[in-house]
Every structure is written in structure tokens, then in C-alpha cells.
Amino acid sequence: MATLRPSLAGLHATLPGEQREFDVLRQLEADLPADITVFHGVAWSSVHNGVQWFGECDAIVLAPNGSLVILEVKAGMVEFAHGAVRKRYGDRTKDVGRQARVQHAALLQRLRAQGLHVHIAHMLVLPDQMVPTGTIGYPRERIVDAADMPDLGPRVLAAIPGPAARAPAADRLSRFLDDVFDLGTDAHARIDWVGRAVTRLSGGLATWVPRITAPDGVFRIEATAGSGKTQLALRLLEQANPREARAQYVCYNRALADHMRRVGPPDAHYATFHELAVGNLRSQGHAIDFTDGTLFARAATLYKQPPPDTPWDLLIIDEAQDFDADWITALRARLVSGGRMYLLGDPDQQLRAVAPPDLPHAVALRCTDNFRSPRQIVQCINAWGLSAQPVVARAPLEGDLPGFHVWAQDDADGMRATEAVVAQILQEGVTPDHIVILTAKGRQSSALLRCPTLAGLALRRFTGDFDATGQARWTKGELLSDTIARFKGQAAPVVILTELDFAALDDPLRRLLFTGMTRAQWRLECVMSTRAERVLMEALP
């Protein structure tokens, strides 16, 4: 059995053509030998006559001799006329032969630019059509039609060209094809691609959960980091608007609520639980003083009282694992009869010691698939046992192991080491807006959050204060810094975890590390003390 990269396990096709491609990939996996690797959804870019072209290969077969076969899969019917092969997409027609030539040239260009000299063959797979003869652009022996599908594996093996004179090792080609970032031209393009790819792959929850019904109208989605919970929340909110439903999104962290306000549909409402509670306090004529340390506790207590009306048709509670059970009861009391409540959470990211709510009639769904974190980061998470169950790596990117940086004894808080990591990343072409620095300490005890600049860049950080309207105040800066706990629910291409200093790997620390490490979409760097490094190394199996 061949190896598929990435695995199809947990992926869901949303279009008929995509389902056919998945069928072909599964057949290749079953029919080809174990020393074959089949890459699919491989993004490529190429520059021709000063114009940059982008595309995606349906499948690339890597043989152990270092040769490649590109497979172009066309579900449904194609047209053969005047020496050309064309496929209709609505009112558009695509020249399949031209697409194949561009793919071949682009991949060859990128390989040669990296000093990888290989032979490439190209095949057209038409699983739904009979083709009696070939064309000048596509010889019949390079076409697999519906009648040929039972022999797909042997046909691909027969098409594998001999090795080039300077053929590279197959593992070097595998790294090149696996880390599709290398096909881009700069760090920004690589980061942009991974964002699009992860969004596309992690759409399973957003596709299937809205179709599920629950007699009680309550849904509990316990899904690991990077599984698509945010996409699910956005899909539910978007679907509520056409029906003029009153939709409310509630979370624990203010930073996440602000993020959802920016990216979510404008007709929905977004707040933290404490924002709602303070708003309720204000509506009842109570004075609001954000310098009062008891304000939020008093507001939460008053919010538990029965509401005068029920304003919501749809309620989404994100970060539900950190909500007190009576908060959830109070929020649910504000749903109209027949309304729906979705609790989105992850016990492995629970940073508050709260008991789960008692919802015996809720429909529950659990997911351990992570589509966000590069697979090598997930391997580290599983090796340290940071989650209750092993996380299943589904990301399109193999990536690199996290970088581990131990600060010197005279670098008491690790800020010099952190600054050196930032400077190195900036030197590699990564822009500040793609970097976030997260401290494992609290805001009051963190040296990072007292630091005005790092590597010549001003830090943007929460001051701990609120204005008269309750809006959080932030310093002006180019480089975002925050605590791991406050950044929960968000992600960034490059994440630097700093002020990692601990003597034991207990459960609260495991959850904190899990939360921080799963924020990274592309690259993770960890800055730690000598004793923290020793604890992590000793915890490895």
C-alpha cells in the first residue's frame, strides 16, 4: 500500500468532483506498492515572461528512483476536439492540455531551481468517461479512462520514467514536495498559502455540524485545537443571518471576542461573558467602575437572575471548557423556545478549574483532528502527552520541529534570548504582522509584557486597563505580545513561546503548553530556562 501525503482520513469532500478525486487517491493508495508516495493538492508557482502563475496538482506520484508522475484527474465529461482536451466549468472552458504543460514546466522549473534533476511523466485520469483514441496533445497511453480504472496502479507504474542522470535521493524530493512552502517565492507567500490550505482542509466541522439536529437544541462540540471550531462558529453565524435570527457569540477571552467581531458577519453579536454581565449591570442602573476589583464578580452574580426576555435564536459559547456551569445556565435562559445552543470547547485547553455543565440531552461530537499545526509540532505534543488523547495530525505541512532556545544564566528573564530569536526570524524575511510572542507567565509577573521593544520593534501589548466604555487599552507597536491564556482561540503563522520556566510537567502546565504550541500555523520557537529544558527532555519517552 502506498503512502498518501496528507492522509485522507478525516477529510470530507464538499463537491462531486472532489469526491471523485478522493476515490482516485484511495485507489492509488491501495494499488501502488509501499515504496511509492502519492502527494495530493500540491500548490505550485512559477514565473514566465515576468508573470507569476499559481496552480495546484491533483496528485504527484514519487517513485523510489526519484522520478515523478503528475496525475491530472478530471471528473465528469471532457471534450476532445481539434487536437485539444477541454473541460467545462459552468460557463467557462479550461484547456486541459495547456494546464498539463504549464504544470509540467512549473514543477520542472521549481525542481531545477533547487538543484533537483528529475524525469517527470504526466497522465490524464478520466474516471467517468470512455476514450477510444488519444490526441496529439495526449497520447492514448497517457490517458486512463473509465474502462482502464481497474488497472490504474499498473498504468501509473508503467508510466514511471527512468531516473535522471543526476537523480536526487527520493527522501530529498519527498521533503521538497511535502514542504510545499518551498514552491513559493518569499515568506509572505508561504504563510499566505498555508492559511488558505488549512482553511480548506479544516472545513469538516463547518460542513457537517450545522446539518445535525438535536431534540433539546443543545450541541457540545469537544474538538482539539486546529480542528475548525472557529470556522464552524462563523458558518453558524453566517447561516443565521438570512433567516433574520438573533445570533449571539460568547467566549471567555476579550481578545478572541474582538477578533470574531473583525472577521464574523456584522449582523451577529459578539461578547465575552463578562461583557454581557457588565452590560446587564449597566442596564439596571448600577454604576460601572472598571477600577473596582469586584465589578466582574458582582456582574456575573446578577446575570444569573432570570432574564426579563429571551432575545436569542442562536447562541454559540466558545471556549466553553473555561465557563462556570452556572454561566452556561444563565446564557441558555436567554434563548427563545426552540433556539439552538452550541458549546465549542477543548478540555486540553482548560485553563480554569471549573466543572463541566450538566447537559444530559445534548448531542455530543468529539474530534481529535488538527488541521492547523504542522505535523512535526503535533508529534512533539503527542510525545510529551500534552493532550488527554493523541492528536491526529491532518495539516498539509510537515514543517520543522519546534526550535528550543535555552537562555543563559545571566539572562534572568530570557528577554535577550527572546530578542535574538525575533531578530533571526525577521532576518529571514518574516514580517512582524506574522509573528506573535506569548509568555507562559501571567500579565503581572511577565518581563515580556513590561518590555517596550524587542529587536528594534515596539511591542503591542494589553495595558491591563479599560476605557470608559469598557474597551481594552493597548500600547502602539508592530509586534504583538500577550499571554498564552489571553491568546487562546487565535493563531499566528509564527509563534514564539517565552518565559518557559518550570520544575515539573504537571497537568495545568501540560494544558498551558498545549494551548501555546497549537497557536502556530507554520513555525514554533520556544525560549526556556535550563531547568525547563531538562524537564521536557526527561519527559520524552
Q: What is the pLDDT of residue 299?
A: 92
Q: pTM above the 0.75 mark?
A: no
Percent of the chain at pLDDT > 90 equals 40
**Is the alpha carbon torsion for 169, 170, 174, 176 positive or negative?**
positive
Question: Rounded to the nearest 5 degrees, what angle is found at the Cα of 437, between the Cα atoms of 435 and 441?
Answer: 165
* Mean pLDDT over each residue of the chain, to the nearest integer: 83
- Grid cell listed for 321: 471548557
Q: What is the pLDDT of residue 184?
A: 32
- Grid cell listed for 59: 496528485
Grade residue 81 by pLDDT with cuts at 50, 70 and 90: low
Establish how many alpha carbons lie within 13 A of residue 105's alpha carbon, considering only the half-sphere containing its beta carbon: 12
Cis peptide before 6 (omega within 30 of 0): yes
Q: Are 20 and 128 in contact (CB under 8 A)?
A: yes
Q: Which CATH superfamily does the domain covering 375-539 fall into? A: P-loop containing nucleotide triphosphate hydrolases (3.40.50.300)
Q: Residues 369-373: what's their mean pLDDT?
A: 87
| 3-state SS assignment for residue 97 | helix
- Grid cell listed for 189: 507567500
Q: In 57-120, which ranges are continuous DSSP H helix?
A: 96-113
Query: Where are the domain boundaries for CATH 3.40.1350 in the chain?
Result: 3-185
How do beta strands 247-251 and 269-272 pair?
parallel
Residue 125 has pLDDT above 70, yes or no: yes
Grade residue 102 by pLDDT with cuts at 50, 70 and 90: low
Least confident of 5-14, 74-83, 162-171, 193-202: 193-202
Q: What is the pLDDT of residue 341?
A: 95
Q: Which amino acid is at 430?
A: V
Q: What is the pLDDT of residue 111?
A: 76
Residue 48 has pLDDT above 50, yes or no: no
Query: Where are the domain boundaries for CATH 3.40.50.300 in the chain?
Result: 204-369, 375-539
Residue 62 has pLDDT above 50, yes or no: yes
CATH class of the structural domain 3-185: alpha beta
Grade residue 180 by pLDDT with cuts at 50, 70 and 90: very low
Query: Which CATH code of 3.40.109.10, 3.40.720.10, 1.10.230.10, 3.40.50.300 fits the domain covering 204-369?
Result: 3.40.50.300
Cα–Cα distance between 76 and 73 in angstroms, integer?
Answer: 10
- Grid cell listed for 305: 437572575
If one compares 242 and 114, the residue with the highest pLDDT of the two is 114
Grade residue 101 by pLDDT with cuts at 50, 70 and 90: low
Q: What is the pLDDT of residue 460?
A: 94
